[in-house]
Amino acid sequence: MDEHTTPLTLTEAKHLLRRTSFGAKPGEAEALVGRTAREAVDALLTASSTFPLPNAPSWINDLVPARTASTEVKAAFNLNNTVWRVKLTEGWIGQMATNRMRERITLFWHDHFVTSYKDYTYSAWAYRYLNTLRTNAFGNFKSFVHTIGLDPAMLVYLDGNINNGNAPNENYARELMELFTMGALDKNGVANYTEADIQEMAKALSGWVLQTSTSWNARFSFPAWDDGNKTFLGRTGEFGYDDVVNILFETRANQIAHFMANKLVQEFVYRVPDVALVERVANSLIASNFDLLPAYQVLFTDKAFFNSAEMGGREKSPIELCVGHLVEMGVVPVTTQTNYIRKAIVSIEQNLLDPPNVAGWPGHREWITTSTLASRWSISDQIVRRFLTSQQIVAFAEAKTPLGSNYAALDLAIGIANHMFAVPLAWVEVAKIEEPFEGDLLVNPLPDWFLSGPEHERNLVKMFLIGLPWYEWNLSIGGASDRIVAYVIRLAQFPEYQLM
């Protein structure tokens, strides 16, 4: 390991929370300052992995009406099914804003073990799929691979439910190796498998079927399974589903560990992975027999994770942008807020439970184009202006104003900016405001530390005050929450705010 052992700075604490937890609530990063990365990460992982799962909705066992059911009964089920999908997605967004690290890591696995709602269409399967991701996200990767392949959403999405021994379907076998476990090539460019391996593995994976009129779960049908000998990855036998997973991890453990470590580093650190960090994460997977918690611990405590060059080096996904607004302002969302965010993220091309293809969302720089940037600005405006209450705005400002501050306007404006940006404020292109500060500055002079400090801080304060004398600012004046809203929205329109 190359662990970051020095006490966390405020910048490092914010970085940790941005990358793993959709951002930092007011005061949250400050509470981590002085702790080691190991102490902070262990606390986050323990809380995330042990937090109770959301209560299951009442509808998850309501089966599809029989073919003989009336038209009215079928129509009612279809309408409910649509409503359930909306409620499930909104509930997930709410969880992202509260049980944040667990849901951020669950989102990663959704983008890894991809399925698409428009292919499987039933909300009961969407719930089971999301629950599969959540319950395995902090467990063992080998067990995760075993479980996800029998998840009904996955069986439908990659045609496992029609993989019959008499007519094998290769879709899941191919993606299991190419995208879900080890990739087409190892780290040295050598092929990890052949087309013959895919064909033979598909036979071993056959036999799993779905029957929605009787159960939402998959069942094994012996007549649909190829019970003959198969040869793949150097092994021969009358293999079935369990054997496929076992053989994968017995014969390709190093390749799987490297592939998954590379993907974790790309997701949480930088799109061009640090080779040495990938090796350290891969080694932790091998050493723990593919337990995921040790891999997360290595990843999030490594010096490379806290490299200053990586801070602000990733573009926010739509979900990170929208949920990030709630988190950084300390808001526990209500239904109207999660409903808007559900719609907003779709408009900027991230539809939960429906990635564009089996490879998931392109991510990174692909998130931001000239058209989506304008939409992002509009969405940030809507979230902060329309969907946050004045009480939530004032509570945020109170949390960002030091207790007993003699310069509340200055401390608040600079504090909010430091809180919202992942890059140093000196890097943000704040336009110079030529107009002087308003009011009687002889009787109420600005402090020397402010006048002799960075120019961008003075411009930020002017941007916040908009002509109000600095000494007249307090949270009790008329329009206080509107002023904070306008300032937050203006900061969110800086290009640098799209970085994390």
pLDDT band at 86 (very low <50, low <70, confident <90, very high): very high
419: which 2 tokens? 């809180």
The model's pLDDT over 335-375, given as tens digits with 9 standing for 90+, comes to: 999 999 999 999 999 999 999 999 999 988 899 988 899 99
Q: Which residue has the higher pLDDT, 308 or 204?
A: 204
Nearest by Cα to 339 from 93, 96, 84, 97: 93
Domain assignment present for 17: yes
pLDDT computed for residue 133 by the predictor: 98
Nearest by Cα to 25 from 326, 276, 275: 326
Q: Is the separation of the CB atoms in 391 and 334 below 8 Å?
A: no
Residues 234 and 183 in one domain: yes
Choose the final residue of a domain: 281, 310, 339: 310
The model's pLDDT over 368-415, given as tens digits with 9 standing for 90+, comes to: 988 899 999 999 999 999 999 999 999 999 999 999 999 999 999 999
Choose the final residue of a domain: 271, 294, 310: 310
Q: Is the separation of the CB atoms in 342 and 96 below 8 Å?
A: no
Nearest by Cα to 420 from 25, 40, 9, 96: 25
Residues 399 and 478 in one domain: yes
Q: Which residues pair with 74 in a beta bridge?
A: none
Residues 230 and 163 in one domain: yes
The model's pLDDT over 291-312, given as tens digits with 9 standing for 90+, comes to: 999 999 999 999 999 999 889 9
pLDDT computed for residue 85 by the predictor: 98
Domain assignment present for 491: yes
336: which 2 tokens? 């109207």
- Total domains present in the chain: 3
Residues 201 and 299 in one domain: no
Whole-Å CA distances, 208 to 150, 237, 265: 8, 19, 34
Return d(Cα 46, Cα 31) in angstroms, integer. 17
* Residue 1 clears pLDDT 80, i.e. is over it: no
Domain assignment present for 315: no
Residues 201 and 286 in one domain: no
Residues 472 and 455 in one domain: yes
* Residue 48 clears pLDDT 70, i.e. is over it: yes
Q: What percent of the chain has pLDDT over 90?
A: 97
Residues 231 and 286 in one domain: no
Helix (H, G, I), strand (E, B) or coil at 450: helix
pLDDT computed for residue 309 by the predictor: 87
Residues 193 and 276 in one domain: no
pLDDT computed for residue 119 by the predictor: 97
The model's pLDDT over 214-261, given as tens digits with 9 standing for 90+, comes to: 999 999 999 999 999 999 999 999 999 999 999 999 999 999 999 999
pLDDT computed for residue 370 by the predictor: 87
Residues 205 and 269 in one domain: no
45: which 2 tokens? 């992982």
Residues 486 and 419 in one domain: yes
**Spatial CB neighbours of 175, under 8 Å, sequence gap ≥ 6:** 158, 358
Would you give the DSSP letter of residue 116?
A: -
Domain assignment present for 437: yes
Residues 462 and 430 in one domain: yes
Return d(Cα 383, Cα 344) in angstroms, integer. 9
Computed over every residue of the chain, the mean pLDDT equals: 96
Return d(Cα 380, Cα 322) in angstroms, integer. 7
Return d(Cα 455, Cα 438) in angstroms, integer. 17
The model's pLDDT over 5-24, given as tens digits with 9 standing for 90+, comes to: 999 999 999 999 999 999 99
pLDDT computed for residue 328 by the predictor: 97
pLDDT computed for residue 168 by the predictor: 97
Q: What percent of the chain has pLDDT over 70?
A: 100
Domain assignment present for 125: no
Return d(Cα 122, Cα 131) in angstroms, integer. 14
**Amino acid at position 172, single letter:** Y
Domain assignment present for 372: no
Domain assignment present for 124: no
Residues 412 and 464 in one domain: yes
The model's pLDDT over 51-70, given as tens digits with 9 standing for 90+, comes to: 899 999 999 999 999 999 99
The model's pLDDT over 128-163, given as tens digits with 9 standing for 90+, comes to: 999 999 999 999 999 999 999 999 999 999 999 999
Domain extent at residue 422: 390-498
Q: How far is CA 479 from the centre of its chain?
A: 35
Domain assignment present for 133: no
**Spatial CB neighbours of 335, under 8 Å, sequence gap ≥ 6:** 90
Return d(Cα 200, Cα 168) in angstroms, integer. 9
